[in-house]
Amino acid sequence: MKNLASMMKQAQQMQARMTEMQAELERHEMTGQSGGGMVTVTLNGKGEMRAIKIDPTLATPEDVEVLEDLIVAATNDAKAKVEAHMAEQMQKLTGGMKLPEGMKLPF
């Protein structure tokens, strides 16, 4: 029974650390860019867009498709950085413990 109580206590501690990590991720921002910095997109750690900056020279009717592609690329770059940061934080939290296949935390 002591083993079960110990496991429950560890699970509660991990849950508290996970809650702290989620709050930290929400505050942490990552910026992705494309077109040599002509488009930048900033996401928070939960993947919510916080800012977008577009070089004014791209805002012409002839360049709409290019601009759309650059926005997508910058967003994907920022998202990849957020996911890498989240994976790093999760590894710290779990002490390198492997999670079951398909299980993604904290979301």
CA gap 90, 76 in Å, rounded: 21
pLDDT 10s digits, 34-86: 999 999 999 998 888 999 999 999 889 998 999 999 999 999 999 999 999 88
Write down the pTM of the prediction: 0.70
Walk me through the domains of the chain, giving residue ranges and CATH numbers. 29-94 (3.30.1310.10)
**Residue 37 near residue 57, CB atoms below 8 Å:** no
Tell how strand 39-44 and strand 29-34 pair up: antiparallel
Confidence of residue 99 (pLDDT cuts 50, 70, 90): low
